[in-house]
Chains A and B, each alone.
Chain A
Amino acid sequence: MSTATSTTSPPTPPAAPPQVPAGLEATVGRSRPRGGTVRRRRRLVAMLFLLPALALNLLVIGGPGVSSIYYAFTDWNGFTTPKFTGFANAIHLANDADFWNAIGHNFIYMIIFLTVPMIMGLAGAFMLSRIRRGAVFFRVVFFIPYLIASVVNAQIWKNLLDPASGLAAQLDKIGVHFLDNVYFFGDSNLSLYSVAFVDNWHFWGFLVVLFLAAMQGVDASRFEAARIDGANAWQEFWHITLPGIRPTLTFAIMIISLWSLLAFDYSYVLTGGGPAGSSDLVSLLVNRTAFGSLEAGYAAFIALAMSLLGGIFLIIFSIIRRNEDETN
């Protein structure tokens, strides 16, 4: 995506050497020390402009983030003075069945989200890019679920997938009974996939919009050239559209991978991680561990492990992106 990529490469030119205003220099005469104070003052003003954002950031994110690294190696419960326990939390984590259960679900979530919404998003965007009439309408309809709060989206699908009063009940009226006793959110074999389904229903429209914007940036003459060569729609998609939006694809894969480690809302609202941990995710586990059983130090360690995993993903993706920049 263009904007996000542009923020990585600094668009601002390197700060110009400070210029002493010409008028000042002439009137004051001794330009060097005077110029120095002017420059110092200008830098001070610039720092003052940055200060609120920076201070708030350090208070909420920077400070707690760094202290998290310390707490992760203590037995902190949130209130008492933490005691350093070395790698006790790491050993606890390695043997914690709940953690491995949850992180396994996060990876299943990731695999689902790297395939289903990607395919839907690419298909939707490609077909949208081929039409003119009604394109705005479709784009709006696809995007609305992305705007709606997770709590309401969850409610919609609780209603629809309720075996007593949703789709199943409607099918009953016409004599179709195969959904009668299917508890999408209450069956431990289905709960994780049902949660991912609802989350995907809300998310794929975002990818349509993201991919559509990228597709509209692909050089139109390449499509015309392909058409002259007799390419069909699928060949155009595979040989021109996909390579043309490669940076956006990489970006989408990156954010989906990172989000999959953080997913919280839909599992929390629809199943609370259950039944019997069958749809538990690491973010829910961190919340329960920190604020439920008050093992704040251990929760910080779980969070730190997840953050490291996310950091590894980011490094991999930045290498991929750099290679892309070099090949282009």
Chain B
Amino acid sequence: MVRPRRRVSKRPDSRPGGIGPTPFSYAWLVLLALFAGLPLLILLSNSLKSALELGLNPLGLPTEFDWNNYVTAWNQGNLAQGLLNSLILVVGTIVGTWICAGAASYALARLDLPFKRGFGNYFFVVISLPVQLFLVPLFFLWSKLGLIDTLPGLIIIFVALQTPFATLLLRTFLVGIPKELDEAAKIDGANEWQIATKVILPLAQPGFLTVGLVTGLGAYNELLFAVTFISTPSKLPIATAFLQFSQGNTQLYGLVNAAGVIMIVPVVILFLFMQRRFISGLATGGLKG
């Protein structure tokens, strides 16, 4: 017995559960959205309250917008320096990962690499290694090499951590590009380097963009290595600069919230513009934590 459809559509309705009970779904989805979204809105609205108003009105909307928290947080929180340091970290990590993972995935996907399967498996195993296994010797190795407490030292770590996942992701992109393109370019007299950079790289751009977003976000938000390897205040990336600021102003929620908003605005804006790519990239990159 086929139940009559309430809505006429050209395609058969393939959604699970049909369209009958969707009001129920919407009610739950709205509840979940409030759970996820309200705390963020409160972060924003509390950042616009003076300390006095925050005491009188802890969670409600601000009666008047007080931007002083932003001015004070910016001036006292070392945030400009933190953002600049994070920008260096993010750009360095993205470019480094592009180079290392791009070249490695190219070798794995398209070149006559010996022990191809072995190298592929090596990268896969490395992704699932716990950070703790190498953290302690790495710290003392870095202090011996003079890389501790430097941004380049942190960039090298981030690139090394992101490259295995990025290599495997880019490999799936590169494998899909037909081999005939290489042959054609070779007949036209191109060498391996020219084939890689002029023919294949432009075709793999979506993969590189995804890798860039995932690794950039990782470098921006990272805490464990940032907090372990960087101690000089002027070198702190934004995450640990923010952490220090929040620890120095524990009860001043308006002020610290303003610093928090400053830190997350670039990420949220970028996400709203490219949410599809972000989501698919992070869902595939899930394995790396």
A residues with CB within 8 A of B: 1, 3-4, 6-8, 10-12, 14-15, 18, 21, 39, 42-43, 45-47, 49-54, 56-57, 59-65, 67-68, 71, 78-79, 120, 123-124, 126-132, 134, 136-152, 155-160, 162, 164-167, 169-170, 173, 201, 205-206, 209-210, 213, 215, 218, 220, 223-224, 227-228, 230, 232-233, 236-237, 240-241, 255, 258-259, 261-262, 264-265, 268-269, 282-283, 286-287, 290-291, 296, 299-300, 302-304, 306-307, 310, 314
Given the interface pairs A206-B282, A228-B2, A233-B17, the reply to whether A12 lies near B116 with Cβ below 8 Å is: yes
Whether the pair B40, A43 counts as a contact (CB closer than 8 A) is no
The residues of A that contact B32 with a CB separation of less than 8 Å are 120, 123-124, 138, 142
A65 vs B141: C-alpha distance in the bound complex, in angstroms?
12
Kindly identify which residue among A124, A126, A156, A236 contacts B43, using a CB–CB cutoff of 8 Å.
A156
Interface size on B, residues (CB 8 A): 115
Whether the pair B217, A296 counts as a contact (CB closer than 8 A) is no
Kindly identify which residue among B59, B99, B278 contacts A170, using a CB–CB cutoff of 8 Å.
B59
Given contacts A49-B106, A78-B136, 14 further A-B contacts (CB under 8 A): A12-B108, A45-B192, A49-B196, A53-B163, A53-B167, A60-B157, A141-B37, A151-B260, A158-B246, A164-B251, A165-B55, A209-B279, A223-B14, A233-B16
Given the interface pairs A43-B114, A152-B264, A155-B257, the reply to whether A7 lies near B126 with Cβ below 8 Å is: no
A166 vs B19: C-alpha distance in the bound complex, in angstroms?
40
Specify the chain A residue showing the minimal Cβ separation from B261: A152
- The smallest C-beta distance from A305 to any residue of chain B, in angstroms, reads 10
Answer yes or no: B71 CB below 8 A from chain A CBs: no
A21 vs B156: C-alpha distance in the bound complex, in angstroms?
39
B residues with CB within 8 A of A: 1-3, 12, 14-19, 21-22, 25-26, 28-29, 32-33, 35-37, 39-40, 42-43, 46, 54-55, 58-60, 99-101, 103-104, 106-109, 111-114, 116-117, 119-120, 123-124, 126, 128-141, 143, 156-157, 159-161, 163-164, 167-169, 171-172, 175, 186, 192, 196, 217, 220-221, 223-224, 227-228, 239-240, 242-243, 246, 251, 253, 256-257, 260, 263-264, 267-268, 271-272, 275, 278-280, 282-284, 286-287, 289
Specify the chain A residue showing the minimal Cβ separation from B140: A78
The residues of A that contact B289 with a CB separation of less than 8 Å are 255, 258-259, 262
Kindly identify which residue among A45, A65, A79, A241 contacts B129, using a CB–CB cutoff of 8 Å.
A65
The residues of B that contact A139 with a CB separation of less than 8 Å are 275, 279
The residues of A that contact B36 with a CB separation of less than 8 Å are 141-142, 144-145, 201, 205
A and B contact pairs by CB, cutoff 8 A, 9 listed: A4-B286, A42-B192, A65-B134, A78-B140, A145-B36, A151-B239, A151-B263, A162-B253, A224-B12
Whether the pair B131, A131 counts as a contact (CB closer than 8 A) is no
Whether the pair B14, A61 counts as a contact (CB closer than 8 A) is no
Whether the pair A262, B130 counts as a contact (CB closer than 8 A) is yes
A220 vs B29: C-alpha distance in the bound complex, in angstroms?
22
A134 vs B28: C-alpha distance in the bound complex, in angstroms?
13
Given the interface pairs A1-B283, A147-B278, A269-B243, the reply to whether A215 lies near B228 with Cβ below 8 Å is: no
The residues of B that contact A240 with a CB separation of less than 8 Å are 16
Kindly identify which residue among B33, B134, B157 contacts A68, using a CB–CB cutoff of 8 Å.
B134
The residues of A that contact B287 with a CB separation of less than 8 Å are 4, 255
The residues of B that contact A56 with a CB separation of less than 8 Å are 100, 156, 159-160, 163
Whether the pair B114, A138 counts as a contact (CB closer than 8 A) is no
Whether the pair B264, A148 counts as a contact (CB closer than 8 A) is yes
Identify whether the interface residues of A are mostly helix, strand, loop, or mixed. Answer: helix
The residues of A that contact B46 with a CB separation of less than 8 Å are 159
Kindly identify which residue among B19, B135, B282 contacts A286, using a CB–CB cutoff of 8 Å.
B135
- Rank and list the top 4 A-B pairs by shortest CB-CB distance, nearest first: A220-B14, A60-B160, A46-B111, A53-B104
Whether the pair A60, B156 counts as a contact (CB closer than 8 A) is yes
Kindly identify which residue among A14, A64, A146, A166 contacts B134, using a CB–CB cutoff of 8 Å.
A64
The residues of A that contact B271 with a CB separation of less than 8 Å are 140, 143-144, 147
A283 vs B131: C-alpha distance in the bound complex, in angstroms?
9
A68 vs B260: C-alpha distance in the bound complex, in angstroms?
37
Kindly identify which residue among A4, A52, A173, A307 contacts B103, using a CB–CB cutoff of 8 Å.
A52
Whether the pair B223, A159 counts as a contact (CB closer than 8 A) is no
A70 vs B138: C-alpha distance in the bound complex, in angstroms?
14
- The smallest C-beta distance from B161 to any residue of chain A, in angstroms, reads 7
A46 vs B110: C-alpha distance in the bound complex, in angstroms?
9
Kindly identify which residue among A57, A129, A300, A303 contacts B126, using a CB–CB cutoff of 8 Å.
A57
Whether the pair A283, B117 counts as a contact (CB closer than 8 A) is no
The residues of B that contact A147 with a CB separation of less than 8 Å are 217, 221, 267-268, 271, 278, 282
Whether the pair A129, B16 counts as a contact (CB closer than 8 A) is yes
- The smallest C-beta distance from A243 to any residue of chain B, in angstroms, reads 13
Whether the pair A303, B130 counts as a contact (CB closer than 8 A) is yes
- The smallest C-beta distance from A126 to any residue of chain B, in angstroms, reads 7
Best-surrounded residue of B133, B163, B228 (most CB of chain A within 10 A): B133
- The smallest C-beta distance from B64 to any residue of chain A, in angstroms, reads 19
Kindly identify which residue among B164, B175, B221 contacts A12, using a CB–CB cutoff of 8 Å.
B175
A173 vs B56: C-alpha distance in the bound complex, in angstroms?
9
Kindly identify which residue among A132, A134, A148, A156 contacts B267, using a CB–CB cutoff of 8 Å.
A148
The residues of B that contact A228 with a CB separation of less than 8 Å are 1-2
Whether the pair B132, A156 counts as a contact (CB closer than 8 A) is no
Whether the pair B159, A160 counts as a contact (CB closer than 8 A) is no
